Amino acid sequence: MRILGIETTCDETAAAIVELTRDGTRNILSNRIRSQIAEHTPYGGVVPEIAARAHAEILDRMIGDAMEEAGLAFSDLDGIAAAAGPGLIGGVLVGLVTGKALALGLRKPLLAINHLEAHALTPRLTDDVAFPYLLLLVSGGHTQLVAVEEVGRYRRLGTTIDDAIGEAFDKVAKMLSLGFPGGPAVEKAAREGNPERFTLPRPLLGKPEPDFSLSGLKTAVRLAAEAVQPLRDQDVADLCASFQAAVVDCIVDRTRAGIRAFRRDVGTPSALVVAGGVGANKPVRHALQRLSTEVGLKLVIPPPALCTDNAAMIAWAGVERLSRGMSDGLDFAARPRWPLDEARAKPGARA
């Protein structure tokens, strides 16, 4: 089975082909990604209109390059998978409409993929992780702890009640004039800083429900920065190190609560899985490795290129769904919000 995946939910334009062989081997035949960082950097964040226009200008070429790299003709495909949300609606529409056009013209099944489901299923592409497992999804737009029970069956155990973790990194980087994207910039600056210089809060630490909160921590960083104005390079490094240490403590504590909730409500997880761009942060990875060893769970973190937004994960989600006889109609609507576990979605919560 060979599936073309299309990803345009934020500021990466991506196309990929993933193959599942008869003996169960998973192959990424191509994985093309074009970042829009240069277009958005002057604005300090992603501008939806600019992102949608950039997707429309380059997506056809990205698909052609992915097909050429894989050495395939369109007739060799078994289906077309396109991210249908959640995300910036203009960009989502570009990818989904393109996927529909290809599916219609090629008479292939359409797989309208939830971007979050694609993240959730990536460890089955890279490591063949067995169901059920606990997913920690940490990115610029999403922070969730999810019990992944089967394809299409997810139980959200915890979420952020305000900012996503990656969003908090970006906002701290912006207030400290470190540029965009903020996560790598804060991590780099933190290497030269003292994580104990500034006393910052650890929101919700010790609470039984595995939810996250980042807005108070972000505000504390702003107040600490204002107290030491004008900022020197060492002040910035110390602020970044202190902020990152607080985030790591929160992630470990909240994930520990998520493991308890999983064991209480679902059973024994086969693994602790991390997805999303924050999963590329080395202190976060090292802290979660220590936690997983402590609680006796296997830790699975896909390679950094498959943690951030990419089309291979969209194609793989398409493989998972099509192999179970699932597909979608051409009338499937793009969704700016699309929680994995809609039944447990909280009013106003992040999708």
19 pLDDT above the threshold of 50: yes
pLDDT of residue 351: 44
Average pLDDT, integer, range 81-92: 96
90 pLDDT above the threshold of 70: yes
What are the boundaries of each domain within the chain? Answer: 2-125+308-344, 129-301
Domain 2-125+308-344 has CATH 3.30.300.160: no
CA gyration radius, the chain: 20
Choice between 341 and 325, residue whose per-residue pLDDT is larger: 325
Q: Is 213 exposed, middle or buried (0-12, 13-18, 19+ CB in 10 A)?
A: buried
Choice between 227 and 304, residue whose per-residue pLDDT is larger: 227
Q: Cβ(320)–Cβ(117) under 8 Å?
A: no
305 pLDDT above the threshold of 50: yes
pLDDT of residue 42: 77
Distances (CA, A) of 65 to 6, 69, 76, 269, 328: 12, 6, 15, 39, 26
Q: Same fold for the domain at 2-125+308-344 and the one at 129-301?
A: yes
350 pLDDT above the threshold of 60: no
Q: How many CB atoms lie within 10 A of CB 327?
A: 18
Return d(Cα 92, Cα 12) in angstroms, integer: 11
Three-class SS state of 314:
helix
Tokens of 6: 């299309």
pLDDT of residue 37: 75
Return d(Cα 64, Cα 101) in angstroms, integer: 15
pLDDT of residue 141: 81
pLDDT band at residue 346 under the 50/70/90 scheme? very low
Return d(Cα 259, Cα 157) in angstroms, integer: 9
Choice between 199 and 346, residue whose per-residue pLDDT is larger: 199
Percent of the chain with pLDDT over 70: 97
Choice between 343 and 65, residue whose per-residue pLDDT is larger: 65
151 pLDDT above the threshold of 80: yes
Where does 129-301 sit in CATH, by number?
A: 3.30.420.40
Q: 250: Cβ–Cβ under 8 A, 6 or more apart, which residues?
A: 202, 203, 204, 205, 212, 214, 217
> Among the residues of 30-86, which ranges form H helices?
37-40, 48-70
pLDDT of residue 276: 85
Task: Please state the pTM of the whole predicted model.
Answer: 0.89
Choice between 59 and 37, residue whose per-residue pLDDT is larger: 59
Return d(Cα 3, Cα 209) in angstroms, integer: 38
Q: Considering the chain, what is the average pLDDT of its residues?
A: 93
pLDDT of residue 344: 47
pLDDT of residue 175: 94
pLDDT of residue 300: 96
Upstream peptide bond of 230 is cis (omega within 30 degrees of 0): yes
DSSP 346: P
31 pLDDT above the threshold of 90: yes
pLDDT band at residue 294 under the 50/70/90 scheme? very high
Amino acid at 289: Q
279 pLDDT above the threshold of 70: yes
Return d(Cα 295, Cα 128) in angstroms, integer: 21
Q: How far is CA 77 from the centre of its chain?
A: 26
